[in-house]
Amino acid sequence: MSRTARWRLGLGVSAVLLASAALPAPAHAEDATDYSITVDPSAQGAGTGNWSVQAGQEGFLVPFGVKDTGNYYWWNIGGWNNTQAAVEQAVDGGKSTLIAKPGSVETGRAYDVDIKVRGRQVTLYLDGQQWGGFTDDKPAEPFRQVVTRDAKTGELIVKVVNDQSSAARTAVDLGGAKVASRAKATTLAAAPDAVNSETCTAVAPRTSTVTAVADKFTYTFPANSITFLRIRQK
């Protein structure tokens, strides 16, 4: 059965499109296998669906296949400081990127967004042109993560394993801890069959500095990786 949900919105750069917890049935029902979600930008601020538009440095989000607040998909258009668009899947609160392309949205311009779901096949259209698509035949796996405290230094250590074949952007919640805004990341990332030898070091740790750290922040964990974040407490 084909179902259609429509929203009529005026969209522009630095506008974030947010869905309320109660989405219309096509985006929310677990048993819906064939439906379309269309965002019609021809009318400013009118329509059904409890949406809000707020200022920011991003484009807009269009959710679909929503099961609950921790399990859903969304098409992020003009994300990452208005530099790219991507489809992300959230599983138990952890996000992974299924498809991504560079691109941005323009101030004052209206965009026609259409998402067609046919069984496990998803096709996305932007301004009438096919932007991309994917077959959801392998659900993303939850992340394995743990937060510990170094008794000697007092630092919090976030350990995360991402054993998926794609990078995953996920939320890190330190439970209200007061922490420095910069942290040290040590990452081991390589192909699943990579092996070190006397002549080749296929798997080696890489260190980097993470900025914008807070008691709650987001971080992108590379595919097939183990990451250690050392975060200094204030």
Domains parsed from the chain with CATH numbers: 3-135 (2.60.120), 144-233 (2.60.40.1180)
Copy the structure tokens of residue 210. 């993470």
pLDDT greater at residue 153 or residue 36? 153
Q: What is the largest CA-CA distance in the chain?
A: 65
- Average pLDDT, integer, range 126-139: 82
For the stretch 57-80, pLDDT in tens is 567 788 888 777 778 888 888 878
- Average pLDDT, integer, range 14-32: 34
pLDDT for position 203: 87
Radius of gyration of the chain (CA): 20
When the pLDDT of each residue in the chain is averaged and rounded to a whole number, the result is: 74
pLDDT band per the 50, 70, 90 thresholds, residue 55: very low
pTM: 0.48
pLDDT for position 228: 95
Lowest pLDDT segment from 8-12, 66-70, 143-147, 153-157: 8-12
